[in-house]
Structure 1
């Protein structure tokens, strides 16, 4: 019953994940809807922030009215002191309430805004992980990682800008116009008309500048990607004495970014200048109008002070709104660009009715499979191949023959153009990706390790394994000797992509990782290529233990590593041109025998990959 319940929960989790991914993809390039999605998750907290800011602005405007009442009460204050005291008390209470509301808004927002940032970063990363490998091959990792951060940071800046820079002055301007109506309704209506016209003009001009802001966002992301690319390949840079060349290249990227940033900022500054001129004229006209009313006896001294202070409030408030608005335009453009890249629809979405892969007999079948990478010639042409459960098969052939593509299709990194790939009789295009990945262990040629401890790297495919299990796997992979010599042993950090270890050490860590994962299908892609002769002998013994009772496909240019295999399949131009046991192929004219003959003549090693 527990297993059934776990299966049901896993299936429900996958369904929710697919639905979640489909929903997220709809927000690509739609920044406002994307922001609202995460704001809506915490409606109460955001409503409290909104209400607190509105109340604070209301109390601030009421304070202006309180000052007006105090000024009007002063001429009669000596004969009626109670009136002055009352006006003073009301003013102090309003000031106190104003500050209290700001603090409430700040306290609630410090939690809500941070949680929104965490939510969007988590969702962006989760969605990014669902893309097919081809998506990552086309985009530098630095560009993608910078966009995950840029998306979350843009939302955080937008929320803070709206709450603290845009909303308060907007409410202030609206409230000030309402208060002005108590002095002169025509004056208030004129303010409404001018404000509406000014806002519409600014909105139209800001939209015209969107392309400049998006260009800056794209260029900034490319600079981040260039940084990660160069730093990640620093060994290559130094090996080819290219430090100065890379610095010059990066300077070029910085100049391009600076140019797009200047264009974006200058456009924003033009909008600010336009707004400053209009609001300065508006404030002067407003104060002059009030003085004219005072000369006619239609406004008190307090009204003149009130309208004068409100005029400045409108001036500064509308200026702040304009600044916030144009800044928001830039951040919204960056959010749109980042979300457009990250939330692209999946090229290989998991089918809605995908079922778990059940492996009782780990047979492998390629049925008339054809495949070509995007924009390139066909790699596989009607490839048909059957591998029995428990069979050890070696793939050999010249470079570009399709050997690595066979392994990639078996892991469902790509979808065949035609035909299908089956494991245990199930078409892998219709099984869940998690179950497929659990069924396959891989020892690659270029071993990838995280910048984490060796313990975490080895049990990456089996996170629940005990340290004793890890040590046994290390013993079987013959890597416990060098691990024990490290100061921190299994807790030693591997370094970025495993740079603190030699190539042979990384290879043995990968073998230990595969041993611990214990999957029924094993893929070996040049698994001993980085080992010297003595290490290779030790590792071959470990691989013999690992391959026992498993279906194995191995790519190797050292033909000696395939002599114990059940079958060798020779590929050329995406087709099977020879197959048989190592002994049989050694006597048949063809690629395998020719390569074997060159090795026996002690010719330079011929690489088949």
Structure 2
């Protein structure tokens, strides 16, 4: 009995991914907790950055104290030069230390902050890949990709804003108030009260603007989605001369996004203007208070300089804190919006105790399966179907009969509403996706290729295949000739979704990919629909070799391609209405015979 699995390391990796997915979903809509999660992965580096900033701010405040000592030492400096020298030396050392600690913080953060963004992108991509196909059918690819980038970028900006814009003035305000208290306790207490009131007022006002920032984040993501949607379908746009219409549509989205951004930024500017006015008034009051203390002999000249400087540091620091907090509010709002979209709980999570698929005989069973797409009537209704190992079965029926749904359920793209889908007697809902996918190869009707070389596309399902293996698969799929005619052969870039190839060429590449993958179960979804008659004859020979000793399930509207199959299963309204060998069904009244007759009349009709 064959075990379709990738060993202990693969199982351990899947366990880690499942655990990480369960944990990540808890952070949807909790941006601060999400940031702390990734900061925690690099504790030592972030601790170094934090301590370096603290020491740097301490040295900067100490420099102001050093200036005060130097000023007070100058009147008696000629008589006692050692006093001036000590004050000067202390000031120089504090300035040097200040710059050194900032450089240490910058050097370490350049590694730590970038590492955090890399971790986020990696985890978000892995989590996104775990969503069921229904999730992607409801979302634009551009919106999802932009949200991954927006999440990582928002965290990077938040970290930088905290480290360089919010934390230094916060520490400066605290340290400066302490130093002012050494000269004038009443002034220190007043500055504490004023700074706290100012910060709290700005906090309340900033929180009221959160909805504006979230609206901007949503509109910005929709712009990315619209761009990807139009660019990805540019051929269709040009074919219908729809560029003016698309320009107008994009202008509408752009106007909404621009308006949302303008309202977000103008609200921030109002807060900054309010704080700037308050700072001007309070700075004048602090300076006047300090001069009054000097006039009554309660402060030296150095104290005037020190307190005046510290007062300005406190008030300007509170301004910087408010500005930083407002900026953080905007970025955290964008992070929260992106996390809600990306970290939606998986609708079909892999069971914790999922076992690898064991393939003894590649049998397929649908046991009383009922399935309906969300918000629609059932596509399959109590479907029962057994396919023996090594049997070739063609699925036939009118549009909407459930043929493609059968293939989708077999690949576990969706969960049946009721019933079971089994391979080799095992319910595929309880096996690992890795082992299930390894057991199945598919040649789809709408062939998808990556913007990579043909070589990479063909061996996508078997990355360890040699170039010689790829060439043999291409020969069997009858695509070596057109590949050889291309400028770079197998190294030719396929273009976006294979845009540089014709439909028939893409389909033959997909057949070569399936041949190379060599899985025991083969799904053919209109595998020759894009081929001309001559190519179809050649491909049929390749498919015959490919289907040998495999369990095959094929959808085909041209019944001529199914004449060599063991069975034809006719579906109608989600149920099996006919089942038998092609010759048997051709001899009895029903959908199969009627369809066969229509196609025969169409192909035998003389050309005009």
* Common fold by TM > 0.5: yes
CA contact (8 A) 1:409 1:415 kept: yes
Counterpart in 1 of 2:218?
218
Counterpart in 1 of 2:152?
152
SS in 2 for 1:75: coil
CA positional deviation for 1:176: 1.2
Counterpart in 2 of 1:565?
565
Asked whether 1:475 is paired with 2:470, we answer no
Higher mean C-alpha displacement, 398-407 vs 13-22: 13-22
Counterpart in 2 of 1:450?
450
Counterpart in 2 of 1:490?
490
Aligned residues: 603
CA contact (8 A) 2:203 2:322 kept: no
CA contact (8 A) 1:283 1:314 kept: no
Asked whether 1:51 is paired with 2:55, we answer no
Per-residue Cα deviation, 1:456-503 (whole angstroms, up to 9, x for no partner): 111111111111111111111111111111121111111110111111
CA positional deviation for 1:311: 2.1
Evaluate the alpha carbon distance shift between residue 107 and residue 82 of structure 1 in structure 2; reply closer, same or farther with a 3 A threshold: same
Q: Output the CA distance in 2 between the equivalents of 1:576 and 1:164.
A: 68
Per-residue Cα deviation, 1:278-305 (whole angstroms, up to 9, x for no partner): 2222211111111111111101111111
Q: Output the CA distance in 2 between the equivalents of 1:109 and 1:339.
A: 24
CA positional deviation for 1:259: 1.1
CA contact (8 A) 2:68 2:305 kept: yes
CA contact (8 A) 2:369 2:420 kept: yes
Counterpart in 1 of 2:124?
124
Q: Output the CA distance in 2 between the equivalents of 1:493 and 1:154.
A: 34
Q: Output the CA distance in 1 between the equivalents of 2:508 and 2:426.
A: 32
Counterpart in 2 of 1:408?
408
Per-residue Cα deviation, 1:119-144 (whole angstroms, up to 9, x for no partner): 11111011111111111111000000
Counterpart in 2 of 1:188?
188
Evaluate the alpha carbon distance shift between residue 5 and residue 337 of structure 1 in structure 2; reply closer, same or farther with a 3 A threshold: closer
CA positional deviation for 1:315: 2.8
Counterpart in 2 of 1:133?
133
SS in 1 for 2:261: helix
Counterpart in 1 of 2:82?
82
CA contact (8 A) 1:361 1:389 kept: yes
CA positional deviation for 1:271: 1.5
Q: Output the CA distance in 2 between the equivalents of 1:318 and 1:557.
A: 72
Counterpart in 2 of 1:432?
432
CA positional deviation for 1:9: 2.8
Evaluate the alpha carbon distance shift between residue 5 and residue 371 of structure 1 in structure 2; reply closer, same or farther with a 3 A threshold: closer
CA contact (8 A) 2:454 2:490 kept: yes
Q: Output the CA distance in 1 between the equivalents of 2:491 and 2:585.
A: 46
CA contact (8 A) 1:395 1:554 kept: yes
Q: Output the CA distance in 1 between the equivalents of 2:470 and 2:494.
A: 16
Counterpart in 1 of 2:334?
334
Q: Output the CA distance in 2 between the equivalents of 1:209 and 1:455.
A: 52
Per-residue Cα deviation, 1:15-73 (whole angstroms, up to 9, x for no partner): 22111110111111111010001111111111111111111111111111111111111
CA contact (8 A) 1:73 1:84 kept: yes
Asked whether 1:314 is paired with 2:333, we answer no
Counterpart in 2 of 1:529?
529
Query: Within 5 A, what are the aligned runs for 1:110-509?
Result: 110-509=110-509
Per-residue Cα deviation, 1:206-263 (whole angstroms, up to 9, x for no partner): 2221111111101100000000000000000000000111111101000000111111
Q: Output the CA distance in 1 between the equivalents of 2:443 and 2:599.
A: 25
Q: Output the CA distance in 2 between the equivalents of 1:268 and 1:604.
A: 74
Q: Output the CA distance in 1 between the equivalents of 2:47 and 2:587.
A: 81
Counterpart in 2 of 1:70?
70
Evaluate the alpha carbon distance shift between residue 507 and residue 549 of structure 1 in structure 2; reply closer, same or farther with a 3 A threshold: same
CA positional deviation for 1:13: 2.0
CA positional deviation for 1:574: 0.6
Counterpart in 1 of 2:544?
544
Higher mean C-alpha displacement, 570-579 vs 137-146: 570-579
CA positional deviation for 1:4: 12
Q: Output the CA distance in 2 between the equivalents of 1:44 and 1:600.
A: 75
Which 5+ residue runs of structure 1 have no aligned equivalent?
none
CA contact (8 A) 2:474 2:512 kept: yes
Structure 2 length-normalised TM: 0.97
Per-residue Cα deviation, 1:544-596 (whole angstroms, up to 9, x for no partner): 00000001010011111001011111111111111111111112112111111
Evaluate the alpha carbon distance shift between residue 248 and residue 556 of structure 1 in structure 2; reply closer, same or farther with a 3 A threshold: same
Q: Output the CA distance in 2 between the equivalents of 1:117 and 1:599.
A: 58
CA positional deviation for 1:6: 6.1
CA positional deviation for 1:5: 11
Evaluate the alpha carbon distance shift between residue 68 and residue 604 of structure 1 in structure 2; reply closer, same or farther with a 3 A threshold: farther
CA contact (8 A) 2:73 2:83 kept: yes
Q: Output the CA distance in 1 between the equivalents of 2:471 and 2:65.
A: 77
Counterpart in 1 of 2:20?
20
CA positional deviation for 1:510: 0.3
Q: Output the CA distance in 2 between the equivalents of 1:509 and 1:572.
A: 32
Which 5+ residue runs of structure 2 have no aligned equivalent?
none
